[in-house]
Structure 1
Amino acid sequence: MPDFITPTSGLILWAVLGYLIGSVPFGILLSRALGLGDLRKIGSGNIGATNVLRTGSKGAAAATLLLDGGKGALAVILARSFAGEDATQLAAVAAFLGHCFPIWLRFRGGKGVATFLGILLATSWPVGVAACATWLVVAAASRYSSLAALVAAGSAPFWAIFMGTGTIFVMCLVLTVLIYVRHAANIGRLRAGTETKIGARAS
């Protein structure tokens, strides 16, 4: 590391890099490139894979899911390769915040579920696999993407302890709280029985 980069400034650099990586709005970019319209005016207006699916393009939704997860993983992998564990977890949280509050979209981004899962897979793949499996089971049983996300996120800190990776417990807890905050409206609709199920087309 160059002498002019102190430990503190190094962490700031990784936070900025993580944020910029996470802020790339793949859902918006793919929808425009494929002529699917402005994603922010479709369905829930969210920029994530679930709303891309409401355009009727399963391929675009799958690509958005992979890319949104991939950017979270990329932030972790880069930080882990060139810096320490503190920088890795900081870059991970910053990438998540970048997805949720991207500067390019006036800080109106997605809810971070795919990015969250990508971060978990890159930081501790057993925890990531367990969280992904939790999402799949709940989604298959309920057909509610939001409920699956909430249960998967809520389970992540416990999976971290169970899998013996307690070093990421605080990171998991912080990201879980953020996911619940981002899903406040979904929680209200789930309680009211008005939440949209997976695969419902945009009206």
Structure 2
Amino acid sequence: MLNILLVILISYAIGNFSTSFILGKLIKKTDIRTKGSGNAGATNALRVFGKKIAIITFLFDAFKGIIAVIIGQMLLGYSGSLIAGVFAVIGHDFPIVLKFKGGKGIATTIGAATFINPVPALIAIIIGILIIIKTKYVSLGSVLAISLVPFIALLIVRPFDLKYILFLVVLAAIAVFRHKSNIKRLLNGEESKIGQKSK
């Protein structure tokens, strides 16, 4: 029980490291949460700060998921890696150090899910990239890709791993919840495409 709590706390703390917020403050002297969509993640970093900071943000945010999973594995084995991945994303999305106003967890989800089992994650990432290229909607590609991972895993991962499937379902649910405003704008035809200002 103590190890479970330790994994949760460490992973959540790792998730609290907000790359876009820190880079924005250090390099641009700007709080990213006051610009663009107000989201402290890679997509808004691209919109507000440009490609270089966005790429660095994505990589570091993905790395958070990987580091958390490794620590979870060390402390609690396979189950610990799954718990760690979820709470790293929660820490990124709802960081206590930023008054719970964080990002949407896509990069951290990608890092954690890919490290735990790369094949389903990479298939979903490719699908997501194709959707983004076709539609220019990052939110659409992100949500659909992450939502598809559990189904992809059900089809190709053998033997069946209930813990892993539940892990993916939880991550997908968090992603959909965090993108609820984007989904609403998509349905209303009001979502911003790549290169457009946030609506």
Provide the TM-score with structure 2 as the length reference.
0.93
Cα displacement (A) at 1:201: 4.5
Distance 1:36 1:145, change over 3 A: farther
Cα displacement (A) at 1:202: 6.2
Structure 1 segments (4+ residues) deviating >3 Å: none
2:185 paired residue number = 189
1:100·1:108 contact (CA, 8 Å) conserved in 2? yes
Whole-angstrom CA distance in 1 between matches of 2:190 and 2:197: 15
Cα displacement (A) at 1:56: 4.3
2:20 paired residue number = 27
AA at the equivalent of 1:131: A
Q: Does residue 91 of structure 1 match 2:87?
A: no
Whole-angstrom CA distance in 2 between matches of 1:163 and 1:32: 43
Which blocks of at least 5 consecutive residues in structure 1 are unaligned? 1-7
AA at the equivalent of 1:170: L
2:176 paired residue number = 180
Cα displacement (A) at 1:54: 1.0
Whole-angstrom CA distance in 2 between matches of 1:57 and 1:162: 38
Aligned length: 196
Distance 1:202 1:153, change over 3 A: closer
Partner SS state of residue 84, structure 1: helix
1:153 paired residue number = 146
Whole-angstrom CA distance in 1 between matches of 2:198 and 2:185: 17
For structure 1, which segment, 185-194 or 79-88, has the greater mean C-alpha deviation from structure 2 after superposition? 79-88
Cα displacement (A) at 1:34: 1.4
1:54 paired residue number = 47
Cα displacement (A) at 1:131: 1.9
1:133 paired residue number = 126
Q: Percent identity, please.
A: 34
Cα displacement (A) at 1:83: 2.6
2:192·2:198 contact (CA, 8 Å) conserved in 1? no
Which blocks of at least 5 consecutive residues in structure 2 are unaligned? none
Cα displacement (A) at 1:200: 2.4
2:195 paired residue number = 199
The counterpart of 2:37, out of the listed 29, 44, 47, is 44
Distance 1:201 1:194, change over 3 A: closer
